[in-house]
């Protein structure tokens, strides 16, 4: 499956970029529909390019899949970055965290991203490198972005977190993981239940980490 990685640099220019994006789009659709056994010939045909063109851009199917995942995750993280920028001056930690959780859940439950995640988990035994690529381009970046947001809120005195890594995992557990578990079975939570999990999850998180200034002692 692997190809010679000593190939010439990938093509550049507007036409090459159009071809590259067509290849990635076609591959994403076919991976989700057909699984990782989809052939590069079929991907080339769906993209309207030659197989040689596909390999000029991607040395292997694993590399192409990594790019498919990367672009899907880039869209999700752009949304989270927008949320963080919007909350830069937020005075209500609860509102900030609910908005963040809703953005994360929306990204995690997007049908195409959920399908890619399920594809990765289904292929882990055969292709463990796919799992590493998905982790690096997806969850690891979400963890870092959420950790930065928590750091912002701590610096503003709205949260008091001793171990941000643990807090990030707990936040995911309270707000996002239920959707991923249900989604792995091809189902989805009811909208009202999903929203309740977010609001209640944020309240539980704040009960542990919201900063409460010490009361002033009478002078």
**Is 121 among the domain residues?**
yes
Percent of the chain with pLDDT over 90: 39
pLDDT at 218: 60
Position 8 confidence tier, pLDDT thresholds 50, 70, 90: low
Residue 74 and residue 154 in one domain:
yes
Reported as a single tens digit per residue, the pLDDT across 126-158 is 888 888 888 887 888 888 888 988 998 999 899
The answer, as to whether pTM is greater than 0.85, is no
- Say how far apart CA 170 and CA 93 lie, in whole Å: 16
Would you place residue 214 in the very low, low, confident or very high pLDDT band (cuts 50, 70, 90)? low
Write the CATH number for 19: 1.10.10.60
Domain that holds residue 149: 64-209
Determine the average pLDDT of the residues in 95-121: 86
If one counts the domains in the chain, the total is: 2
> Would you say residue 214 lies in a domain?
no
Report the range of poorest mean pLDDT among 42-51, 119-128, 194-203: 119-128
Instruction: Give me the pLDDT at residue 50, please.
Output: 94
Please tell me the predicted confidence (pLDDT) of residue 5: 46
My answer on whether 18 and 98 are in the same domain is no
1 falls in which pLDDT band (50, 70, 90)? very low
Percent share of the chain, pLDDT over 70: 88
- In this structure, the answer to whether residues 139 and 158 fall within a common structural domain is yes
Q: Is residue 127 part of a domain?
A: yes
Residue 194's pLDDT is what?
Answer: 92
**Angstrom distance (rounded) from CA 167 to CA 60:** 38
């Amino acid at each position: 499956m692997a190809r010679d990685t000593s190939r010439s640099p990938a093509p550049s220019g507007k036409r090459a970029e159009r071809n590259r994006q067509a290849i990635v789009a076609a591959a994403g659709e076919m991976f989700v529909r057909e699984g990782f056994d989809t052939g590069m010939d079929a991907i080339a045909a769906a993209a309207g390019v030659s197989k040689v063109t596909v390999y000029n851009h991607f040395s292997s199917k694993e590399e192409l899949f990594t790019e498919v995942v990367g672009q899907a995750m880039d869209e999700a993280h752009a949304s989270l970055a927008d949320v963080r920028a919007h909350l830069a001056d937020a005075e209500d930690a609860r509102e900030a965290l609910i908005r963040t959780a809703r953005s994360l859940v929306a990204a995690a439950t997007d049908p195409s991203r959920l399908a890619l995640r399920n594809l990765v988990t289904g292929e882990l035994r055969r292709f463990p490198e796919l799992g590493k690529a998905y982790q690096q381009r997806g969850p690891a970046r979400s963890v870092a972005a959420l950790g930065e947001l928590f750091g912002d809120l701590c610096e503003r005195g709205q949260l008091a977190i001793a171990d941000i890594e643990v807090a990030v995992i707990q936040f995911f557990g309270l707000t996002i993981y239920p959707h991923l578990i249900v989604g792995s079975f091809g189902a989805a939570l009811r909208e009202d239940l999903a929203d309740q999990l977010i609001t209640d999850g944020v309240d539980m998180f704040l009960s542990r980490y919201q900063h409460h200034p010490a009361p002033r002692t009478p002078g």
